[in-house]
Amino acid sequence: MMAEQPRKFLPTYLGAPRAWGTHPRKRMLMTPWLVFFGGIFAFAVPTIMGAFWQMMFFNPPISNDFAPLTASAWNGRHVFLSNGCVYCHSGFVRPQDVRVGLYFLYNRVSLPGDFTTSDSSPNLFGTARIGPDLADESGQHPTDWEYAHFYDPRYVDPLSIMPRFSFLSQQDVIDLTAFVETRSGKTGLVREAGQEWAKKVFLLAGDGNGAPHNTFPAGFNGAKLTMAQVAEQNLDGFPGPTSSFDGLPYPDVLSVNMAPRGYWLMNNPLPVTTSNLYRGRWVFETFCIGCHGFGGSAVSNAAKFMAPRPIDFTHIDDATSGNDTSPGIYYYRILRGWQGSAMENFGTRLTVDDIWKVVLFLKTIPNGTLKNSHPISVNDFIQWKPPSALLDYIDKHPIQKQQVYQGPYFAPGILPEEGTGIPSPFLAEAERVFPGFAFSDQIPLPGYGTVSLASGAAAIEKIYDAYLNAGWAAYPERNGYPPLPAALKTVPPQTYDELR
C-alpha cells in the first residue's frame, strides 16, 4: 500500500485514512409543515403590526393646517388617481426632505393629522418620486402653467419624462388643476391666493410684452392657436395703462418691485467670457426654451396658454436700458420666480454661477446668439445701463431706506393676529409677491385701485377665504368623514419664512 502523498501547500497535513467510513446521511431538522406555517407566521406578524394594527388604531386629531377640497378639486383628485399620477408623484414630505434655504422646496413637513379624513382616502402617499413630490405644489405655479404642463409637459420643461395628458377633457383638466393647486392645506391656499392676486394685478398693468388682458384661452383651447397667432398676440395684446407713477411707466413700476431693492442696480459679478456665455446658452436651451421659444422671442407652444406672456428677450432696447431688465432683477426672477406669471423658480435646480451665466447670455440674444450658425463672442454682450426713469424712481424710493419686514405691521383689518407677535400669513404672502415694496408704498393702478402690501394682504385673505368656504361647504355634501370641528376653520394658516 502506497503511502499517502503529502499535500503541496500543507506538507505536514495528512489526509484521512481511506478506511474511514462515510459521513452519516444528514436529516432535515424542520419538517415541510413547520417551514410552511413558520413562513406564514413570519410574514403575518410584521404585516399585522405594521399595517393592520396601524389602520385600526391610527386616529390622530385633524391637522390645524387641513383644508377640505372644493367640489372641483375633489373631482380632480379622482382624475389624478384614475390616470396613475400617484405612481410617479408622492404626496407627503418627510422631515429629511426639508432643506432650509432652498426656496419653495417642501415648505412644510407632512403630519399624521393631514391624512385622517375621507379627503385623503385612499391615500396618495406614493412610493416613488420619479416626478417631484406634490404635497406642497399648491401655489407654486399659476393655472395657465398647469394647463400647458398637462397638455404636454415638454412645453414648460424640455427635460420632463411625464407623459402627455392632452386626451383629458376640458372639465377634467380644470378639475385636476384645481386639485393640485389646492391640495396643500391652508398654507398652500395662501400661496395659491398670492398667485391669483399677482396675476390679476399684472393683467391689468400689462406686461410690456403684449399681455392679452384676460383674453388668453382657458384650458386646452390654447393648443389650437398657431405660432403666427401667438406672435400676433405678443405684438397686439393689451399694453397696460399709459400713465406712470413716480417716473416709471406701467407695468415697470410693479415688476421692478417684484425684486428686493438691493437687486435693482446690481451688476453681474461674473466676467463676460466666451465660456460663460456658452454655458449660459446651454442653461437657456435646457431650462428656458420651452416657454421663451427657440429664438427667445416668446413664440412657443407654452406661450399659447399663458398670460402674462413669457418675456421676449429679442428687444435690444430692453437689453440695454429696460427699467426692469437689470442683471440683478433678472437674477432674482430666475432664482425666486415671478408670482402671477408662468415664470417658476430655478433656485432649487441651478447653481448661483449658472444663474448668473444665463443672465449674461440673455444680454446677447438680441444679437442672434441662439442661432446655431452664430458663434458666440464677447462682442455679442450688451451692457445694461440704468435708464433715467429708474434712477428718478430710486431717488424717490431710496434702496437703502427700504423697510425690511421684521415682524407684524398692525394694520387694522389686515392682521388677525394683531398684538400676538405672529406675522400675518397674508401679509407675508404679499411681501413674497412684492418684496421691493416698503410698507408705506401705495401705487395707484387704473382699473384696480391701490396696490400695496396692506391691500395685497386683504385681497389674498379674501381669495383664501373663498377657497376655504367652498371646501367647507362641499365636504358635508359629499358625506365627508369625520365631521370637521367648527373651530378648525378659524385656525390661521402658518408661515414658513425660513423657506421663502
State the CATH number of the domain containing residue 295: 1.10.760
Closest CA to 197 of 482, 470, 466: 466
pLDDT per residue as tens digits for the range 148-201: 999 999 999 999 999 999 999 989 999 999 999 999 999 999 999 999 999 999
Q: Is the residue at 50 inside a domain?
A: no
User: Taking all residues of the chain, what is their mean pLDDT, rounded to a whole number?
Assistant: 84
Q: In this predicted structure, what is the pLDDT of residue 226?
A: 78
Q: Is the residue at 286 inside a domain?
A: yes
Cα 279–chain centre separation = 24
Q: Which amino acid is at 39?
A: G
Least confident span in 69-83, 230-244, 258-272, 465-479: 230-244
Mean pLDDT for the stretch of residues 342-347: 89
How many domains is the chain partitioned into structurally? 2
Alpha-carbon distance values, 275 to 357, 362, 383 (Å): 9, 14, 18
Whether residue 404 has pLDDT greater than 50? no
Question: 224 and 190 share a domain?
Answer: no
Question: 312 and 373 share a domain?
Answer: yes
Which tops the pLDDT comparison, 60 or 172? Answer: 172
Question: 162 and 229 share a domain?
Answer: no
Q: In this predicted structure, what is the pLDDT of residue 487?
A: 93
Q: Which amino acid is at 318?
A: D
Whether residue 10 has pLDDT greater than 80? no
Instruction: Provide the β-strand partners of residue 232.
Output: none
pLDDT per residue as tens digits for the range 77-90: 999 999 999 999 99
pLDDT per residue as tens digits for the range 93-119: 877 776 544 444 556 888 889 998 999
Question: 248 and 301 share a domain?
Answer: yes
Q: In this predicted structure, what is the pLDDT of residue 414?
A: 42
Which residue's entry shows cell 410690456?
A: 208
Indicate the burial class of 109 (C-beta count within 10 angstroms; 0-12, 13-18, 19 or more): middle
* pLDDT level of residue 5 (50, 70, 90 thresholds): low
Whether residue 232 has pLDDT greater than 90? no
* pLDDT level of residue 352 (50, 70, 90 thresholds): very high
Question: 81 and 152 share a domain?
Answer: yes
pTM over 0.95: no
Residue 464: domain span: 71-194+456-499
Distance CA 180, CA 138 (A): 6
